[in-house]
């Protein structure tokens, strides 16, 4: 099979958030491979893509990418990153993400204490 990618992709498992448009909100996803030019993304179930672009945020890399959808099949999507320079994840977004994670941990602990 002919590989038309401009650069090799690294196999990874990164958590991400894809914002397709204002109406459909954000969807959690898993980045399966990534390069400086694009990525392969997996969603938990089939996704309908009303637009040709999405904002892909990868907290582990501390970056967001404007991504053009190249292909999709079921719950897998291939994207090419826009030539526009990617925006860094803001400090507020990062703090909110950490706060939400801590909240979930505390909720699980409270549930354990109440059940035990």
The predicted pLDDT at position 25 comes to 75
The predicted pLDDT at position 109 comes to 92
The predicted pLDDT at position 2 comes to 43
How many residues are recorded in the chain? 116
Q: How many helices (H) and strands (E) does the chain have?
A: 1, 7
Q: Which domains does the chain have, with CATH numbers?
A: 10-89 (2.40.10.220)
The rounded distance, in Å, linking the Cα atoms of 114 and 111 is: 5
Q: Is the pLDDT of residue 86 over 50?
A: no
Question: Which three-class secondary structure state does DSSP give residue 50?
Answer: coil
Tokens of 104: 């979930």
Residue 14: CB partners within 8 Å, gap ≥ 6?
30, 31, 34, 58, 60, 61
The predicted pLDDT at position 87 comes to 52
Per residue in 16-71, pLDDT (tens digit) is 998 877 676 788 999 999 998 999 999 988 777 666 788 899 888 888 889 998 98
Per residue in 65-80, pLDDT (tens digit) is 899 989 888 889 999 9
């Amino acid at each position: 099979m002919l590989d038309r990618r401009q650069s090799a992709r690294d196999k990874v498992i990164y958590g991400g958030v894809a914002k397709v448009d204002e109406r459909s909100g954000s969807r959690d996803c898993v980045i399966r491979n990534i390069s400086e030019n694009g990525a392969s993304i997996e969603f938990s179930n089939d996704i309908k893509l009303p637009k040709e672009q999405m904002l892909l945020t990868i907290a582990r890399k501390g970056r967001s990418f404007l991504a053009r959808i190249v292909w999709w099949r079921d719950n897998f999507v291939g994207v090419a990153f826009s030539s526009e320079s990617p925006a860094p994840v803001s400090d507020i977004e990062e703090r909110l993400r950490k706060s939400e994670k801590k909240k979930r941990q505390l909720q699980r602990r409270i549930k354990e204490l109440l059940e035990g």
